[in-house]
Amino acid sequence: MPGTKRSKIRKNDQVAIIAGRDKGKRGRVLEVAPARGKIKVEGAGMIKRHQKANPQANRGGGIVDKEAFIDISNVQLIDPQSGKPSRVRYEGVGESKTRVATKSGHSLEK
């Protein structure tokens, strides 16, 4: 799969999970991997990892809860106007492309 893929979801966006075991949860995007089509959402897709203690990094050992990647197709961006999940489209041409929520037409750019 050479080349790059575009993702309409970016880091720090507010998203709602629409499918999977965490369906209905909302959270902030921590990380996006567009080439793999995966995303990390705060508080969603929690997994347990057995972590070895590392005294040099001042890190204790034990079982740690952390977010796992979930599929990007299982989330939708939150419309800033209505607070409900919405699809996203791009408006504008050339350099001035902006992301827009399809439900309200409200811009998602800060």
Cβ atoms < 10 Å from Cβ of 99: 17
> Which pTM does this prediction carry?
0.84
Could you give the 3-state DSSP secondary structure of residue 68?
Answer: coil
Separation of alpha carbons 90 and 100, rounded Å: 6
Rounded-to-integer distance, Cα 58 and Cα 90, Å: 45
60-104 per-position pLDDT tens digit: 999 999 999 999 999 999 999 999 999 999 998 778 889 999 999
Rg (CA), the chain: 17
Pick among 2.30.30.30, 3.30.450.80, 2.30.30.40, 3.50.50.60: CATH of 14-85: 2.30.30.30
For residues 105 and 80, give the distance between their C-alpha atoms in angstroms, rounded to a whole number: 10
